[in-house]
Amino acid sequence: MQKFVIHGGKRLEGDITVQGAKNSALPILSAAMLCDGESILENCPELSDVYAACQILTHSGCRCRMENHTVTIQAETIQNAEIPENLMQEMRSSIIFLGAMLGRTGECISGYPGGCELGSRPIDLHLQAFQKMGVKIQEENGILFCTTPNGLHGAKIHLQFPSVGATENIMLAAVLADGETIISNAAREPEIFDLANYLKKCGAKITGAGESTIFIEGVKKLHGCTYRIMPDRIVTATWLAAAAATGGTIRLLQADTGSLEGILDVFEQMHCSCSHTKKTICFSANKPLKAIRCLKTMPYPGFPTDAQAIVMAVLCQVKGTSLIEETIFENRFRHTDALMRMGADIQIAGRAAIVHGVKKLHGATVSATDLRGGAAMLIAGLSAEGETVITELSHIDRGYDKPEKILANIGADIRRR
């Protein structure tokens, strides 16, 4: 089993080039399945989730090759509309292949994603939307059998909650469906906008992506294209948090500052200094940090749930009391046990975490509980006194492309063993 061994307390200083966004690469890989020509996706991060997505494409008969952060997909040879159960379990976001398979082949067989480390993650909004679009769904022993006896057609769909996954799945099913689909109360995350831009480059007719109402006019065919995946805003937040926790000064290159408003604002409230151009962030934490009165996770453009654990790791050592409210997932505080083992003072009350800043965290052996929880442990370990060992790295490897190399380059003492 691999682990990170970190000797904390080193101030981070230097440049990092931000990797491509996992949460954009995965839906776009799935969208490539809808195209008749070849798609070349640049800036794809090398992550276990991306490999799993490539395996789903290969299993369905597409040709898929990854080299130097570029994935080339040829989907004309598609013949199998099944998402293998093991990949469904390995990566919950396999569910976004459902919409693409329905759009491309009119059917799909897929495992039913169960709960996960963040709590129950239902897909009722996805399935209700598909049914409105003409999909018949039968569930047997936890397997979903989806067919479209009369073809897939557009529909007016109002989402009860602006679910990112459901918005993506509907878009994927709608681009080749018959007629117009209108999604109201759609998710507005930047990754939705990126998916729409890729699909439009392939010939899809979409307007309103990035806003609350998205209009999609189905077309007969999509062709492939060359497309560059947007920078990862959560990885950006992670490196900012690592610098903040160690009193560091870093420059982030190839970032997408337009998608970071809610995040940069929080670091500024903590008294970090951030100046940025469109693609570069100059960040410094050379003053004592300030606690945050109330930080609430919200759908975009609010503060992202994915950055909650990461910012909590910084606040653990900030004088004063910070309050964090998690409104998106029911069970997203599992990382707090590890942080407390490292000396943090955190109280959990339902969906709120009260963080009383301590002077210093100390090293400990901890297990990554989930992807972003693991990232929080990395940040805590970088700033703690002594040695921190993090196990269960498979969680971290789902979302971070060689983090130990990136951090070692800017002065961290971290090794993968």
Asked if residues 230 and 191 have their Cβ atoms less than 8 Å apart, the reply is: yes
Of the candidate spans 41-49, 124-132, 170-178, 285-293, the one that interacts with ligand UD1 by CB under 6 A turns out to be 124-132
Q: Which of residues 88-117 bind ligand UD1 (CB under 6 A)?
A: none
Which residues make Cβ contacts (< 8 Å) with residue 364, sequence separation at least 6?
338, 341, 342, 384, 388, 389
Stretch that binds ligand UD1, among 140-148, 194-202, 277-285, 300-308 (CB under 6 A): 300-308
Largest pairwise CA distance in the chain: 65
Measure the CA–CA gap between 19 and 140, rounded to whole angstroms.
Answer: 40
Q: Is 202 in the site for ligand UD1 (CB under 6 A)?
A: no
Interacting residue with ligand UD1 among 59, 121, 334, 416 (CB under 6 A):
121
Query: Which residues are tagged catalytic?
Result: 116
CA distance 79 to 10: 53
- Residue 110 and residue 69 in contact, taking contact as beta carbons nearer than 8 Å: no
| Tokens encoding 72 | 């080339």
Q: Are 94 and 87 in contact (CB under 8 A)?
A: yes
Report in angstroms how near the CB of residue 301 gets to ligand UD1 at its nearest.
11
Does position 203 interact with ligand UD1 (CB under 6 A)? The reply is no
- Using CB under 6 A as the binding criterion, the count of chain residues that bind ligand UD1 stands at 19
What's the helix, strand, coil split of the chain in %, to 5?
35, 25, 40
Q: Footprint of ligand UD1 on residues 206-235 (CB under 6 A)?
A: none
Q: Which is nearer to ligand UD1, 8 or 20 (CB)?
A: 20
- Least Å distance, CB 198 to ligand UD1, is 17
Q: Per rule CB under 6 A, is residue 299 in the interface with ligand UD1?
A: yes
Tell whether residue 82 is a contact of ligand UD1 (CB under 6 A): no
Answer for the pair 210, 183: CB distance below 8 angstroms, yes or no: no
- Quote the CA–CA distance of 99 and 96 in Å, as a whole number: 6
**144 vs 414, beta carbon nearer ligand UD1:** 144
Nearest approach in angstroms of CB 267 to ligand UD1 is 19
What CA–CA distance (Å, rounded) separates 188 from 384?
Answer: 36
User: And the tokens for 185?
Assistant: 């109360």
Q: Which two tokens stand for residue 137?
A: 């769904």
Among 23, 246, 257, 322, which residue sits at the site for ligand UD1 (rule: CB under 6 A)? 23
Tokens representing 174?
Answer: 């709608």
Which span (31-39, 69-77, 163-171, 338-346) binds ligand UD1, by CB under 6 A? 163-171
Which residue from 2, 76, 114, 122 is in contact with ligand UD1, where contact means CB under 6 A? 122
Using the minimum distance from each CB to ligand UD1, give the nearer residue, 166 or 338. 166
Q: Sign (positive/negative) of CA torsion 118, 124, 129, 135?
A: positive
Nearest residue (CB) to ligand UD1, 163 versus 246? 163
Residues of this chain that interact with ligand UD1 (CB under 6 A) are 23, 121-126, 161, 163-166, 189, 299, 304-306, 328-329
